[in-house]
Chain A
Amino acid sequence: MRANVSRYDLRAPDGLTEALHLVSNGWKPLAGGTDLMVLLEAGKLAERRLAGLWKLDELRGIEVGDETITLGALTIFAELRHSPVVGLNLPLLASAAAEIGGVANQNRATLGGNLANASPAADAAPALLVYDAELEIVSLEGTRRVPYHQFHRGYKEMDLRAGELIARIHLPNGRGRWQGCWRKVATRAAQAITKVSLAAAARVEEGRIAEIRIAYGAVAPYPLRCHRMEAALRGAALPAQLPPFDELAPIDDFRSTARYRLKVARNLMETFLASLA
């Protein structure tokens, strides 16, 4: 343990308003803690005052409407993974949820935490990009909505201001019928950080790609929705040519190399396109 916990404070408010008061006073939100507690262990948690969100039941749960499915930011991956509704309508998210650490991690790790932690390798992110998710963000001032593909702006930079919390994630219902794929490539079979991941889904009509969404993890400073690739493939006849990969900007780090990430990203796309044909 590289930190002195007696120097940190944590409060666990019962209601959203109280939590928002804390957050607007500079208290750092803490949901499942599976990212923040690891930072604490490593002596790298800079914020000394934390607002625990765990008791905010109003930010938890899965609501199904005709047009949209709404997921509370505090929903844990264990619930997303086992929910039949998610499995049927948001299968890529269900698959990703099943791969976010082991069972014990999935029992604490939250969807909102995964997005707000803003790791380029966050595994829930590509699926949400593919599903055109919209974030509902709350603060004492009120509520606003941000399309998720506009949320990330740079490495650990996002459209989340001081005093704001991610409250809910809205997703369209009915995407379960698209042909999709989720593939996570990591340092071992399970319980490992992603080196490159792909979420993609397409609606195929009469041998052509009518609609398509593509998102990659860990190939750019943040989870990447690939608009140019999508544009190149929209309307393409199957079997489709590989689209351009110039949106990807992978790096070398101690987990992998840029070369590998790019090559595997292409291979994953090739496999996905082949599966559509």
Chain B
Amino acid sequence: MGESAPRKDAPAKVTGRAQFVDDLTLPEMLYGVTVRSTVARGRIQRIRFDPAFEWDECVIVRAEDIPGRNVVPLIADDQPCLAGQVVNHAEEPVLLIAHEDRHMAESARRRVKVEYERLPGVYSIDAALRADAGAPFKSYTVAKGNVEEGFRRAKWVVEGEYETGAQEQLYIEPQGVLAVASPREGVTVWGSMQCPYYVQRALAAVFGLPEEMIRVVQCETGGGFGGKEEYPSMIAAHAALLAWKSRRPVKIIYDRAEDIAATTKRHPSRTRHRTGVAPDGTLTAMEIDFTLDGGAYCTLSPVVLSRGTIHAGGPYRCDNVRISSRAVATNHPPHGAFRGFGAPQSIFAMERHMDRIAKTIGMDPAELRRRNFLRQGDTTATGQVIRERVELPALLERALAESRWEEKRRTFAVTNGNGNVRRGMGIAAFMHGAGFTGSGERHLRSQVAVEATAEGKARVLASSCEMGQGSKTVLCQIAAEALGTKLEDVEIAQPDTAEVPDSGPTVASRTSMVVGKLVESAARDLRRTLDQSGLLEGRTFSEACRELVKRRGGFKSWSRYQPPPGQWWDDDRYSGDAYGTYSWAVQVAEVAVDLVTYETSVTAFVSAQEVGRVLNPALAEGQVEGGVAQGIGLALYEKVVYDKGRVVNSQMTNYIMPAPGDLPPIRSIFLETPYEFGPGGAKGLGELPIDGPAPAILNAVEDATGAAVARIPMTPEDLLDALERTHE
């Protein structure tokens, strides 16, 4: 480990042989489509089927056809699989149609007209917070020390309000599922997804079948970023319902417009900060109010809110903290998981606010952060004692040095007087908790197995999904090291609930750290068995495995999650060890702002992080570069435009993600401090890099132009407005 072993899946991917769900077909297969609501809130009055169409060629599924419960079960079980009488958001699924000719399926979809009695909707956080709107999905309060006392000790009290918009995951492979289903055989689905066991649970509820009768297979998945965490359960249920009724295989593949308009996005947020600052720049009190727009159904909002809340105070020490937060209901399509899971939103606010504080008190933004970094032995807002060494000061120094912070700031101070380009530098410092929050991992009780195969390989069995992040390769590397053998001797099963145990969802930067640890311990167990039975004497590893299988008729070693010793968490008071450990980072953005067009380009980017031991440097760099790219998108380009709850820019032409010409060279630096409870010392990495780019970039824009923008995405139009405000 610690080497950039080539990806296991690369050859299939570069030759086009890798099988994504839309590459599968089955004999007799039908194509499924979804009729969706065209209004954000309303009561269904009538459904008209164009009489000129040959409806007998179609299979149609309505809510009444659901054999089990009409629900996509998650946290609150409030989201129907198909709308019954009312719709609560635009693009809510109302009816399903399948046809053997995919062109005709589309024609059929267009010939169904659903009539609604429109009802008033809620389309903003402000409207949702008004007294007459419903209760929030969830709220939290985190409290530590005495905030009033802290404000009394402050020389300055700095306030700010910050907002972030929705963001589309925009995986390049749109969502899709292929299903077969019958009462006798049960349900089998193949799909693009992150969490096969979530899908299994959903299908069991929708069909009223025991979980053993539901088989879920993950196909090669063309990116997920959280977007394929919860929504695949919906599509799988739809495809399977059509298959159940038609007794034929059914495939549903979303087109891009449907995928953007209907599936989940990053939660829009608003954060208010009020911070007390002592004469020396240390923080004496932090009062934070954090609100997420959850959309029309609860889905994952409580856990996204939780992570956002816990990260809202940043990586800073402060004795007096109060954080109140809530996820409110609106009539937007439900917002959901997206890399970072609430943390990029609240960290954006915190890190922009740190620059506001620095400006207010006249301190260098790097110095302000340096003075306030958490240290070993400090407690976080939830009262968690940081037991490891915190490398933030070293990360800051490396990031400043690598970005030539001092020198560039001096140069820009001179050159910014001339011409039409203004340049600036900005920092963001942050941490990201790895794995599920609080008692989450304990409830999950993840399990993996490593087996010896008759072909003489060790085979990892886990439900963790490869979706580009390189988990297949990393888990095999971990197993190979624990087994004391070559990477070629290890393979990993494709996630298939009929074959692999539930190692938990592929989310929350938990795969390398949590699942990897389980793989390590199961692999060690297999190794021990090989050692103790003396099979390795005079045999290669591969021969020994073959022999083991021959003698015992197969061999699997299992391992199940054990919490690190001493970890405690109180769900009611929301205090304790929120995460087993944190990864830490400092990022520096350098920007150029064109005063003719108000366009901001990121001209250089440095990301310095401590993520424990780096298991595969090339993959780790890939994660950082990809995460930073999405963070740049979040900061400058990616805007979801709603009109009364409907997304109006649901094409790639109009929802703008960074193309090759929009991204700078991204430099990643890793400081390695092995983590005791991670496999080979590793911590989580996947989400960390997307937390910082947006605040670092907007801080840099303020450095360059003086314009303080508190909302992302910051388009050139927004910057023009802000510049005019600044110069008034």
Contact = CB atoms under 8 A, between A and B. Distances in A.
Direct contact of A and B (CB under 8 A): yes
Interface in B404-430: 420
A260 B104 contact: no
Contacts of A3: 106
A43 B650 CA distance: 14
Interface stretch (B437-445, B513-521, B657-665): B657-665
B719 to A, nearest CB: 9
A268 B596 contact: yes
Contacts of A256: 717
A6 B103 contact: yes
B532 interface: no
Nearest to A101: B653
Contact of B255 (A1, A7, A257, A268): A1
B637 A187 contact: yes
Contacts of B107: 4, 7
Interface in A180-197: 185, 187-193
A267 B106 contact: no
Interface stretch (B161-169, B350-358, B597-605): B597-605
A190 B659 contact: yes
B252 to A, nearest CB: 13
A190 B721 CA distance: 24
Given A4-B104, A188-B662, A264-B597, A255 B654 contact: yes
Contacts of A191: 659
A191 B656 CA distance: 10
Interface in A1-50: 1-7, 38, 41-43
B648 A254 contact: yes
B103 A4 contact: yes
B453 to A, nearest CB: 42
Contacts, number: 73
B661 A189 contact: yes
Given A2-B255, A4-B107, A264-B596, A187 B656 contact: yes
B394 to A, nearest CB: 35
A216 B720 CA distance: 20
A190 B651 contact: no
Nearest to B595: A267
A263 interface: yes
Given A189-B661, A254-B648, A267-B596, A4 B656 contact: no
A3, A4, A5, A6: residue with the most chain B Cβ atoms closer than 10 Å: A4
Contacts of A1: 102, 106, 255
Given A4-B103, A4-B104, A264 B257 contact: no
A144 interface: no
B44 interface: no
A38 B654 CA distance: 13
Nearest to B255: A1
A188 B637 contact: yes
A38 B716 CA distance: 27
A42 B107 CA distance: 13
Contacts of B596: 264, 267-268, 270-271
Contacts of B653: 38, 193
A43 B651 CA distance: 13
B110 A43 contact: yes
Nearest to A268: B596
Contact of A42 (B110, B257, B649, B662): B257
Interface string B92-106: 000000000111101
A260 B716 contact: yes
A82 interface: no
A2 B661 contact: no
B63 interface: no
B257 A185 contact: no
A153 interface: no
Given A4-B103, A42-B257, A42-B651, A267 B656 contact: no
B641 A254 contact: yes
Nearest to A256: B717
A271 B110 contact: no
A259 interface: yes
Interface in A246-274: 254-257, 259-260, 263-264, 267-268, 270-271
B598 A264 contact: yes
Contacts of A267: 595-597
Interface in B590-646: 595-599, 601, 637, 641
Contact of B597 (A5, A185, A190): A185
Contacts of B661: 188-190
B656 A189 contact: no
A222 to B, nearest CB: 20
B709 to A, nearest CB: 15
A185 B662 CA distance: 14
B303 to A, nearest CB: 31
A161 B537 CA distance: 88
Interface string A221-234: 00000000000000
A189 B601 contact: yes
A2 B257 contact: yes
Interface in B249-308: 255, 257
A42 B654 CA distance: 13
Contact of A260 (B595, B654, B658, B717): B717
B654 to A, nearest CB: 7
B420 A271 contact: yes
30 contacts: A1-B102, A1-B106, A1-B255, A2-B106, A2-B255, A4-B103, A6-B103, A42-B651, A185-B599, A188-B656, A188-B661, A188-B662, A189-B601, A189-B659, A190-B660, A190-B661, A192-B656, A193-B653, A254-B649, A255-B654, A257-B717, A259-B717, A260-B716, A260-B717, A263-B720, A264-B596, A267-B595, A267-B597, A268-B596, A271-B596
4 cross-chain pairs, A with B, having the tightest CB-CB distances, nearest first: A189-B661, A4-B103, A4-B107, A254-B641
Interface of B: 101-104, 106-107, 110, 255, 257, 420, 595-599, 601, 637, 641, 648-649, 651, 653-654, 656, 658-662, 716-717, 720-721
Given A2-B257, A255-B654, 5 more contacts: A1-B106, A2-B110, A38-B653, A42-B257, A190-B659
